[in-house]
Amino acid sequence: MEQPLAPKLPAGLYIVATPIGNLGDITLRAVEVLGAVSLVACEDTRVTGKLLNRLGLKKRMVRYDDHADAGARDRLLAAMREEPVALVSDAGTPLISDPGYRLVRAAREEGIAVTSLPGPSAAVVALTLSGLPNDRFLFAGFLPNKVKAREDVLRELAAVPATLMFYETAPRLLDALAAIGLVLPGREVAVARELTKRFEECRHGSPDEIAAHYAAHPPKGEIVLLVAPPSDEAVDEADADALLREALLTEKPSQAAAQVAKATGLDRKTLYARALELK
């Protein structure tokens, strides 16, 4: 069967979201635009080539990633003045923790038309699965790799009254959870991985609980890590001590700490150490 001709598109830049796992999530409009553009700028031509093949499309591709220089950007801008050019990432919505914002900025400065097609985004999918408050959220990209820098970023974000969202890699997940437990004690976390794929999962609990699970079952795949916002009713040290003293009247230190942690959202380990002192 002969493929219908794609509609003619005006020259410019078309930002096209692609599936994060399940090919069924690509939109009809994305397929239409990819079929109509003259050039596709992508992070990895091999990855995008597989997607285009699955869609039955053959397109001229050029690599545009974090290492692209000003010359590569200028060549793309020149193409956009004359023909429609698509920008895609390996998966999901371009520019979200992916290269591209400089290209969009340069295109706008030169008066080149820019169109963005909505579509899949791992961060948004994870937020909807997490069960954490979603009236306010802050996407903060990847946490730093070094211990001190990672903790500094978490301290900087500690007072933000919103659910925090990070992208993370499987090998770094336990370190990230440890840092959250240290810097943001008492916060609930959620780990969403393999989104839209066969083994999709979203686990939630304390950083210690989630870390214990993944220490026993090392994770694979792409990960979104979410942290609950700070409690509206902060409990100070004196309040925590009063609650612990009351609980210690009938409970062992470990049980008293668990009881107060559940009631206040404070870190159970910290409360247990304090309960031993008070006992």
pLDDT 10s digits, 51-62: 999 999 999 999
Q: What is the pTM of this model?
A: 0.78
- Looking at the predicted structure, is the pLDDT value of residue 89 above 80? yes
Mean pLDDT to the nearest integer, 32-49:
97
Residue 200 and residue 176 in contact, taking contact as beta carbons nearer than 8 Å? no
Spell out the residues 6+ positions from residue 17 whose beta carbon is closer than 8 angstroms to its own.
27, 30, 88, 92, 93, 94, 117, 118, 119, 120, 121
- Looking at the predicted structure, is the pLDDT value of residue 169 above 50? yes
Q: Is 123-227 CATH 3.30.470.20?
A: no
Q: Which CATH architecture has domain 12-120?
A: 3-Layer(aba) Sandwich (3.40)
Which pLDDT score is estimated for 1? 40
Q: Do domains 12-120 and 123-227 have the same CATH topology?
A: no
Residue 255 and residue 192 in contact, taking contact as beta carbons nearer than 8 Å? no
pLDDT band at 233 (very low <50, low <70, confident <90, very high): low
Can you tell me whether residue 39 is helix, strand or coil?
strand
Instruction: Name the residue with tokens 């995008």.
Output: 48
Domain boundaries of the chain, sorted by first residue:
12-120, 123-227, 237-278
